[in-house]
Amino acid sequence: MPARPSLSLAPALAFVYALLVAYACLHPLTGWRDSGLPALDWLWAPWPRYFILEDFLFNILGYLPLGLLLAASLPRHWGFARKAMVAALVAGLFSFGLEALQNYLPSRVASNLDLGGNAAGGLLGALAGAHWGDALLGPQGRLQRWRARSVIGGRSGEAGLVLIGLWLLGQLGATDLVFASGDLRSLLGIPAPLPFRPERFIAFDTALAASGLLAIGLFVRCMTRGPSPLPVLLVIALGIGAKSLATWIFFEPGAPLAWLTPGAERGLLIGGGLLLPALLLPRLAQHAIAGTSLLLATALVNLIPENPYLPFDRRLAGFSNVLNFHGLTALVDSLWPYAALAYLSALGLWRGEHLADSSGRLPAAPRTKSGR
């Protein structure tokens, strides 16, 4: 049965992005109580004594993509002004609701300044989305045409693209391990099962980098059409870029490649050497290796000893939005491989996309005598 034609990617991306924003704003989602103050008293609060420009800019940048995606999700026949106004209003109301909920979290502070930054970011994104959103994200937009050519059809392709986006987000987390996902140990506060020794850590780091590279490369391959390795290489390059950016911001400003430890370097070489021939295998074999590599990498990240030399810049803890961002990336990074394994299982059991030939078509069923 042919896959259903895909609609615009913008609504799915807007929904997922809104969920991520909500989690970041309400993290850690515990300790809810009534403070006894008027629910909207924060709206009329005076200018804060301490103003952190980085936090305000973070609010603008955080809501800019939401405004863009919301505007791109609106009906195509709407005019520019109507799209921009409605998207900006929805983004502003969404921010207002989250700020109001923060009033019931002891660890959070509702702020009219945050609301203003969020609304400004939503407006800027809405203006951009009303102007360019349809050409980029609409049913006939550039991204949709690329998606139709390069990614498997139907909701499976859209879910795969969302998972790739979440994987890239996870690479921005505050960890020095490249392509390490699925760390439930840190999420649940479980101590490391093995003590740290340099040679042990390097061995784990090597195996983790190799299996992580192989897993993400073949995961991308399982959801793309055709034999071209470019989508695989592009996602890996973006992941390395995201890790370098996170290292530059949170660890070593003068050394964005500080994550490239001896273990990571050796693991990437081994993983690349395994990935290149694996891209030539049949889809069924690629699907099986992708799942096995994901399982191996997830097991390793939960067994690797703690790194006592992690050079995380603790001064950044003074910026509340940095803490929000770390909470978000930690959650995404911890849960991603389990969602990816479920996706691969669904892809194989329900759709059989991994059995497709190099053109992305399923092999034809054998003809029987009665069907001649």
Per-residue pLDDT of the chain (372 residues; tens, 9 = 90+): 444 444 567 888 899 889 888 887 887 777 788 877 777 888 887 877 776 777 788 889 889 999 999 999 999 889 999 999 999 999 999 999 999 898 888 877 788 889 999 999 999 999 999 998 888 877 777 777 887 888 887 778 888 888 998 898 888 876 668 888 888 887 788 888 888 888 999 999 999 999 999 999 999 999 888 788 999 999 999 999 988 887 776 666 667 887 888 899 999 999 999 999 999 999 889 999 999 999 999 999 999 988 766 655 444 544 555 556 667 777 888 899 999 999 998 887 655 544 444 444 444 444 444 443
pLDDT in tens, 36-52: 777 788 888 787 777 67
pTM more than 0.75: no
The residues pairing with 224 across neighbouring beta strands, listed in sequence order, are 151
- Give, in order, the Cα–Cα distances in Å from 312 to each of 13, 42, 59, 247, 278: 31, 33, 23, 9, 36
Q: What does each C-alpha distance from 161 to 51, 77, 150, 330 come to in angstroms?
A: 38, 27, 11, 20
**Backbone phi and psi for residue 223, each to the nearest 5 degrees, phi listed first:** -110, 10
Provide the CB-side half-sphere exposure for 208 (13 A, CA). 27
Alpha helices (H) in 27-105, listed in sequence order: 53-73, 80-102
CA dist 94 and 101 (Å) reads 11
Bond from prior residue into 262 cis (ω within 30 degrees of 0): no
* Residue the block writes with tokens 């073949």: 218
* DSSP string of 185-244, one letter each residue: HHHTTPPPSS---HHHHHHHHHHHHHHHHHHHHHHHHHTB-SS--HHHHHHHHHHHHHHH
151 in helix, strand or coil?
Answer: strand
> Taking all residues of the chain, what is their mean pLDDT, rounded to a whole number?
82
Which pLDDT tens digit goes with each residue over 141-182?
Answer: 777 788 788 888 777 888 888 899 889 888 887 666 888 888
- Residue linked to tokens 């097991």: 299
Per-residue model confidence (pLDDT) at position 153: 78
Distance of alpha carbon 125 from alpha carbon 133, whole angstroms: 10
- Report residue 212 CA to chain centroid gap: 16
